């Protein structure tokens, strides 16, 4: 049932109820009222129905009340006629009153209803407004942003909780305060206070947004980064301002963290010289990190591009490497790794090493490949360089054939290091010889070599190979131009040829030996590769040149060493021969001197013992000289030879040598002519060495001349001092041999064909001794059979002040008294030497001689024998002569004795040591027995160091 209908029915029922109630009440009042007022209660019922139940029920009530009142309460009861006309008035009154009540009720109800509707509306509006306010508040509260609302006067009207938290003001405290008091900001960068233009915003209804984050100064003075926007409230009413404040601390923190991490990444990429890339496999787009283009000098790597365009940059030979690496990554999810060459705009290539990884989507499908790339050209070049240097080193290490090894080195250099490589060496004659010429195409190399031979470089070119060899300075030409070509290559035809080869860059480095002498040059030229050499390449070339030069020199030294070794072997054979030679006559002499064995001479002439002795003595002297020369050579090679210079008058010295050499010259059937200057000539020289020089030259002249020849010795002052010329009419010297005869072991004749003996050391020794004296020596010969001339030039000195009074004797001064008999202790581990000398001294000198063969024995004998003279060999087994001398000096029995050292060592150092050990004299074996006797005769010596 419809609610209205139900209401209607209910009102009708209520009307009925009201009638029933009115009827009941009238019945109840019947006793009191009787027939009067039949409608008394019905008036009330009708009024009630009219007022409260509406028109319909009121009519129902009125009609029912009329009917029932008439029927029940108008006399005659329960009858429908009107007995009394007054009753009709009653009825009409009822009808009138009921009608009036109904009209009144209806109009009042209408009025009431209208009043009720208005109240409802007002209530409703109030409710709506309240709801809206609540919703707004809830909205403001639930907002993630702070909201401050002001009135039109700019004073705070409300703060939401976020604004409260941000500003530090509670809404209650803030309300009524000027906005600037509660919302107070300053610029983040300049730290200047910012004022919100409240009046303007309000006046013009603007919306104001802060330019960027600002710092909100909170109530407690702390600061908070915020962003705010303000706008006027346009509600047609009083208006106001709403400020929306957003806390951006977290956002800024994240932004800063992101910025920092981006910056770190950028720095890391830049520091690692890395470019990062991101390839979207679905779209084919590739994005490179910002700095990639400048880092690799490839503008195409700037920002976004496509993989297809990237592939255009890859060296055609490396595309397959890249493809394989990508396929492996995409198919198997392997990390991506590849090295390939990329082209720069100028056409040159650099090596990129790239690594990356696949980024899959949620379903595991590869969607992106991300990675980094680095320029590894230097590393690759360094690897190649060290491989090249190692291989070149190996080629040089196994160097047996110089030229072949250098050719291999040149071949190794192309095309990795250069397009052309050449090696030039300086030959002993001083000419530059091209040993190797390499190019990837051997035919081209051969052609270039032919051209080079036909048009060799001019030795005085200011640039190029000749200049490098001449100056020893390396040359690097990064970019060959016409001017350079013109300076380096004088020949225009050759220049045209080289121009056609398109030469681009050039390096030439000298090859130097250990003494830093230039022995050749290595040349590298780039052409078709377009390579531009730089300082690093020059360093590689110099390294290679150094290795090559060392290897060359080692190989040459090895060769020389082998040759020297061979010469040494030959020399030992010659030495044995030369030492054996004098032994034969000596042995014969000894046999001849044995009285029992020699039969009386057939011719009746007695054997000339003196002649035999003299011959044996000559042989011994010859042998001693050989050995002396040999020892001097050893000293020269060790650098220990030394002079004992003193003022020496040359002419007497020459006379002495001439008279000593006279017999051997005469014996060789030669004539000796001597031309000496009149005036005295003084040298500051070691007299023994000058004698040695002269003796050697005279001996050679004798040796290399045939009987009947002539030897001339001419001494004359010249510009440089004095010149000593030894000229002979002998076998002469081949021109080729002339420059070499002063070299050690150099002999014109050698091997089995040698007829004239000699060790090949004499002239070498002579030259060293002459040079040690500040002089020079030269040899001249007009050729074989035409004699030779040796000229020694020596510096002279002023005559010393007391030149005339100087003693000339080379032997130690001594007061000779041969008749004096001495107690002599002779110590030598060589028993023969000891016995023979002992016998000589005992027999000839009449001295009392005791022998000892080692140190302890010598000391023992000395203690009982108290020798006046001790002849002591230094090289004794166990305790050496120095030690024995020291002990003898310390012992009472021999401390006054004359101690004479007998030794094979005659250097100044040996003399110093013997002096320090307490020796008085130092004699070198074989000793001159006459000298020994003189020394013995002079004992006891003065207690000062004797001549050493």
In the complex, the residues that contact ligand ADP under the rule CB under 6 A are 700-701, 704, 728, 730-731, 733, 741, 746-749, 758-764, 788
The CB-of-671 to ligand ADP minimum distance in angstroms stands at 15
CB closer to ligand ADP out of 736 and 809 = 736
Q: Dump the DSSP string for 258-324.
A: HHHHHHHHHHHHHHTTEEEEEEETTT-EEEE-TTHHHHHT-GGGSSEEEHHHHHHHB-GGGHHHHHH
- Nearer to ligand ADP among residue 521 and residue 701 (C-beta): 701
In angstroms, what is the minimal distance from the CB of 704 to ligand ADP? 3
Nearest distance, CB of residue 792 and ligand ADP, angstroms: 13
Q: What angle do CA 299, 304, 305 make, to 5 degrees?
A: 75
**Cβ–Cβ under 8 Å, residues 797 and 647:** yes
Contact 340, 314 (CB under 8 A): yes
- The answer to whether 579 and 626 are in contact (CB under 8 A) is yes
Alpha carbon distance 92, 934 (integer Å): 207
Residue 774 and residue 794 in contact, taking contact as beta carbons nearer than 8 Å: yes
Work out how close the CB of 791 gets to ligand ADP at its nearest, in angstroms, rounded to a whole number: 12
C-alpha span between 90 and 96 (Å, rounded) = 10
Half-sphere exposure of 129 (CA within 13 A, CB side): 6
CB of 566 vs ligand ADP, minimal distance in Å: 17
User: For ligand ADP, which is the closer residue by CB, 248 or 668?
Assistant: 668
What is the DSSP code string of 543-590? HHHHHHHHHHHHHHHHHHHHHHHHHHHHHHHHHHHHHHHHHHHHHHHH
CB nearer ligand ADP, residue 438 or residue 733:
733
Q: How far apart are CA 483 and CA 502, in angstroms?
A: 14
Nearer to ligand ADP, 789 or 873 (CB): 789
Minimal distance, residue 750 CB to ligand ADP, in Å: 8
* Closer Cβ to ligand ADP, 413 or 626, answer by number: 626
- Alpha-carbon distance of 253 to 420, in angstroms, equals 62
Separation CA 719–CA 939 (nearest Å)? 48
Give me 446's structure tokens.
């051969």
Asked if residue 199 lies in contact with residue 230, where contact means CB atoms within 8 angstroms, the answer is no
Closer Cβ to ligand ADP, 699 or 938, answer by number: 699
The answer to whether the Cα torsion of 75, 76, 80, 82 is positive or negative is negative
Query: Shortest Cβ distance from residue 755 to ligand ADP (Å)?
Result: 11
Q: Measured from the CB of residue 683, what is the shortest distance to ligand ADP in angstroms?
A: 22
What is the 8-class DSSP label of residue 430?
S
Which residues does residue 683 pair with via DSSP β-bridges, in sequence order? 648
Least separation, in Å, of the C-beta of 653 and ligand ADP? 21
CB of residue 574 vs ligand ADP: minimum separation in angstroms?
Answer: 8
Q: Which is nearer to ligand ADP, 522 or 701 (CB)?
A: 701
Q: How far is the CB of 736 from ligand ADP (least distance, A)?
A: 12
CB of 905 to ligand ADP, least distance (A): 24
| Residue 527: strand, helix, or coil | coil
For residues 335 and 757, which CB has a smaller minimum distance to ligand ADP in the complex?
A: 757
Scored b (16 or more CB within 10 A) or e, 474-501 reads bbbbeebeeebbeebbbeeebbebbeeb
Per-residue three-class SS string for 226-276? EEEEEEEECCCCCCEEEEEEEECHHHHHHHHHHHHHHHHHHHHHHHCCEEE
Query: Among 104, 96, 90, which Cα is nearest to 40's?
Result: 90
DSSP symbols for 628-693: HHHHHHHHHHHT------EEEEHHHHHHHHHHHHHHHHHHTT-EEEEE--SS--EEEE-HHHHHHH
To ligand ADP, the closest distance from the beta carbon of 690 in angstroms equals 17
Residue 102 or 741: the one with the smaller Cβ distance to ligand ADP is 741
Least distance (Å) from ligand ADP to the CB of residue 731? Answer: 5
Least Å from the CB of residue 926 to ligand ADP: 21
Tokens 């010969």: give the residue.
781
Q: 252: which 2 tokens?
A: 């800024």
Q: Where are the alpha helices (DSSP H) in 704-761?
A: none
Pick 748 or 870: Cβ nearer ligand ADP: 748
C-beta of 52 vs 745, nearer to ligand ADP = 745
Residue 804: DSSP 8-state? G
Q: Which run of H or E residues covers position 492?
A: helix 492-500
- CB closer to ligand ADP, 225 vs 775: 775
Q: d(Cα 74, Cα 215) in Å, to the nearest integer? A: 97
Cβ(533)–Cβ(478) under 8 Å?
A: yes
Helices 609-638 and 687-703, axial angle in degrees (round to 10): 110
What number of other Cβ atoms are within 10 A of residue 307's Cβ?
16
Measured from the CB atom, the residue of 314 and 748 that comes closer to ligand ADP is 748
In this complex, which beta carbon is closest to ligand ADP, that of residue 74 or of residue 759? Answer: 759
Q: Considering beta carbons, is residue 457 or 787 the nearer one to ligand ADP?
A: 787
Q: Which is nearer to ligand ADP, 371 or 760 (CB)?
A: 760
| Residue 694 Cβ vs ligand ADP, minimum distance, rounded to whole Å | 13
Sole residue written with tokens 């909100």: 216
Residue nearest to ligand ADP (CB): 758
Instruction: For residue 169, give the 3-state DSSP assignment.
Output: coil
Provide, rounded to whole angstroms, the least separation between the CB of residue 769 and ligand ADP: 12
Backbone phi, then psi, for 341, in 5-degree steps?
Answer: -100, 140
CB of 770 to ligand ADP, least distance (A): 13
Beta carbon nearer to ligand ADP, 503 or 731 = 731
């Amino acid at each position: 049932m419809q609610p209205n209908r139900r209401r209607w029915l209910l009102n009708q029922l209520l009307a009925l109820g009201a009638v029933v109630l009115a009827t009941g009440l009238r019945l109840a009042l019947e006793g009191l009222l009787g027939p009067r007022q039949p409608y008394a209660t019905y008036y009330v019922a009708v009024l009630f129905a009219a007022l409260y139940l509406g028109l319909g029920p009121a009519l129902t009530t009125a009609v029912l009340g009329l009917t029932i009142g008439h029927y029940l309460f108008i006399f005659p009861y329960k009858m429908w006629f009107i007995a009394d006309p007054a009753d009709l008035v009653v009825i009409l009154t009822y009808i009138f009153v009921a009608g009036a009540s109904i009209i009144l009720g209806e109009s009042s109800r209408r009025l009431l209803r209208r009043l009720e509707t208005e109240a409802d509306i007002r209530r409703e509006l109030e409710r709506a407004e309240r709801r809206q306010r609540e919703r707004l508040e809830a909205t403001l509260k639930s907002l993630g942003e702070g909201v401050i609302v002001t009135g039109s006067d700019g004073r705070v009207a409300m703060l939401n909780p976020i604004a409260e938290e941000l500003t530090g003001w509670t809404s209650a405290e803030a309300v009524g305060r000027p906005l600037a008091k509660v919302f107070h900001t300053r610029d983040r960068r300049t730290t200047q206070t910012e004022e919100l233009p409240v009046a303007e915003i309000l006046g013009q209804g603007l919306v104001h947004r802060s330019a960027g984050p600002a710092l909100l100064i909170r109530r407690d003075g702390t600061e908070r980064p915020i962003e705010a926007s303000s706008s006027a409230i346009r509600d047609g009413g009083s208006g106001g301002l709403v400020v929306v404040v957003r806390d951006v601390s977290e956002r800024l923190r994240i932004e800063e963290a992101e910025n920092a991490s981006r910056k770190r990444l950028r720095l890391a990429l830049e520091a690692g010289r890395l470019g990062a890339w991101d390839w979207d496999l679905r779209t084919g787009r590739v994005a490179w990190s910002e700095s990639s283009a400048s880092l690799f000098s490839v503008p195409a790597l700037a920002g976004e591009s496509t993989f297809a365009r990237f592939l255009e940059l890859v060296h055609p030979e490396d595309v397959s490497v890249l493809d394989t690496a990508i396929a492996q990554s995409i198919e198997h999810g392997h990390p991506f790794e590849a090295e390939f060459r990329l082209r720069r705009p100028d056409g040159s290539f650099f090596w990129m090493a790239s690594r990356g990884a696949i980024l899959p989507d949620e379903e595991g499908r590869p969607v992106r490949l991300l990675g980094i790339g680095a320029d590894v050209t230097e590393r690759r070049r360094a690897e190649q360089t060290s491989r090249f240097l190692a291989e070149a080193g190996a080629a040089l290490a196994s160097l047996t054939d110089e030229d072949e090894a250098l050719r291999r080195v040149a071949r190794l250099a192309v095309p990795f290091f250069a397009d052309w490589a050449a090696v030039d060496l300086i030959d002993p004659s001083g000419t530059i010889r091209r040993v190797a010429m390499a190019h990837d195409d051997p035919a081209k190399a051969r052609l270039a070599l032919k051209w080079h031979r036909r048009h060799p470089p001019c030795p005085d070119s200011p640039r190029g190979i000749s200049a490098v060899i001449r100056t020893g300075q390396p040359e690097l030409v990064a970019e060959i131009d016409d001017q350079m070509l013109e300076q380096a290559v004088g020949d225009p035809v050759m220049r045209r040829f080289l121009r056609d080869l398109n030469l681009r860059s050039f390096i030439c480095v000298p090859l130097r030996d250990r003494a830093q002498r230039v022995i050749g040059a290595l040349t590298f030229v780039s052409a078709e590769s377009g390579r531009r050499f730089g300082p690093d390449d020059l360093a590689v070339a110099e390294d290679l040149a150094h290795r090559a030069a060392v290897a060359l020199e080692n190989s040459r030294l090895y060769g020389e060493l082998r040759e020297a070794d061979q010469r040494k072997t030959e020399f030992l054979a010659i030495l044995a021969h030369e030492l054996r030679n004098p032994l034969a006559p000596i042995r014969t002499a000894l046999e001849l001197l044995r009285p029992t064995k020699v039969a009386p001479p057939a011719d009746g002439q007695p054997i000339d013992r003196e002649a035999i002795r003299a011959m044996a003595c000559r042989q011994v002297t010859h042998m001693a000289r050989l050995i002396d020369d040999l020892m001097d050579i050893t000293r020269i090679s060790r650098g220990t030879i030394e002079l004992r210079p003193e003022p020496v008058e040359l002419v007497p010295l020459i006379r002495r040598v001439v008279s000593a050499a006279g017999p051997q010259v005469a014996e060789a059937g030669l004539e000796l002519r001597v031309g000496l200057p009149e005036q005295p000539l003084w040298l500051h020289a070691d007299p023994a060495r000058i004698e040695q020089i002269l003796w050697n030259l005279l001996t050679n002249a004798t040796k290399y001349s045939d009987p009947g020849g002539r030897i001339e010795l001419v001494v004359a002052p010249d510009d440089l001092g004095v010149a000593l010329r030894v000229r002979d009419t002998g076998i002469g010297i081949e021109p080729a041999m002339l420059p070499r005869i002063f070299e050690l072991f150099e002999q014109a004749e050698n091997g089995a064909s040698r007829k004239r003996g000699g060790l090949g050391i004499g002239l070498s020794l002579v030259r060293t001794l002459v040079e040690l004296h500040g002089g020079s020596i030269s040899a001249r010969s007009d050729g074989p059979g035409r004699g030779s001339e040796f000229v020694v030039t020596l510096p002279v000195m002023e005559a010393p002040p007391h030149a005339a009074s100087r003693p000339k004797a080379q032997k130690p001064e001594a007061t000779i008294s041969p008749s004096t008999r001495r107690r002599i202790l002779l110590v030598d581990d060589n028993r023969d030497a000891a016995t023979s000398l002992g016998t000589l001294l005992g027999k000839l000198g009449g001295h009392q001689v005791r022998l000892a063969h080692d140190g302890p024995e010598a000391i023992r004998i000395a203690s009982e024998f108290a020798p006046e003279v001790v002849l002591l060999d230094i090289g004794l087994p166990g305790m050496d002569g120095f030690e024995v001398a020291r002990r003898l000096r310390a012992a009472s029995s021999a401390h006054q004795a004359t101690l004479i050292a007998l030794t094979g060592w005659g250097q100044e150092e040996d003399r110093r040591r013997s002096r320090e050990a307490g020796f008085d004299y130092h004699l070198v074996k074989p000793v001159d027995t006459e000298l020994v006797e003189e020394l013995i005769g002079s004992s006891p010596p003065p207690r000062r160091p004797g001549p050493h």
